[in-house]
Amino acid sequence: MSLVVNMDNSISIQAALHEVVVALALAFVSVLVVIYAFLGSLRATLIPAITIPVSIIATFTAMYALGYTINVLTLLALVLAIGLVVDDAIVVLENIFRRAEEGEATVVAASNGSKEIGFAVIATTLTLAAVFIPAATGIAQLTISRPARPGRAAPWRSSPMPPRPRAAPMPAAS
């Protein structure tokens, strides 16, 4: 008697992990190049260069604390979360940079620019979280993937569905 490996998921998981690392590296480099090209400031480019690695470390720390494992779904969530952080950082950075160009001191521009755009950034983030949290927790899967069967309760109902009436048999031809 011998044991044989029937299916090896580690190959596809390693490939997915590699693709996520490549996508993150490409996103990181392209974000820095685009910010430098449009703003022309090395100092402004350093902000996303710091927020991206910090958000990756914070995400892995939260995943570890909550007991999540690295799989394709958590890798997708990681890419989405980093995209959100980078997008929010770029919006806030552009607003602060605009205010500094208009003549405000950098500290004042940072404070006023963050206050001015902060609510919009938080609202956008909460809206996207409201969309993705049900998918991550399985609520959407519960209501979508289980169609109701005759005589059984649908997931959103408390009582079983009534059986369908059957059609009367056709009279025999004479």
Q: For residue 77, what is the domain's CATH number? A: 1.20.1640.10
Q: Each residue's pLDDT tens digit in the chain (174 positions)?
A: 788 878 887 888 788 788 888 888 888 888 888 888 887 888 878 878 887 888 788 888 988 898 888 777 777 777 777 778 778 888 888 898 889 889 999 899 989 988 999 898 899 888 887 877 776 666 555 545 455 555 554 454 444 555 566 666 666 665
What pLDDT sits at residue 157?
47
Asked whether the beta carbons of 163 and 151 are under 8 A apart, the reply is yes
Range of the domain at 25: 12-142
Q: In terms of Cα–Cα distance, which of 132, 98, 129 is closest to 113? A: 98
Distance, in Å, from the CA atom of 91 to the CA atom of 47, rounded to the nearest integer, reads 12
Domain-embedded: residue 70: yes
Measured distance between the N- and C-terminal CA atoms of the chain, rounded to whole angstroms? 68
Lookup result for tokens 């902060």: 118
What pLDDT sits at residue 15?
86
Q: How many domains does the chain have?
A: 1
Whether pTM exceeds 0.85: no
Domain-embedded: residue 164: no
| Residue type (1 letter), 137 | T
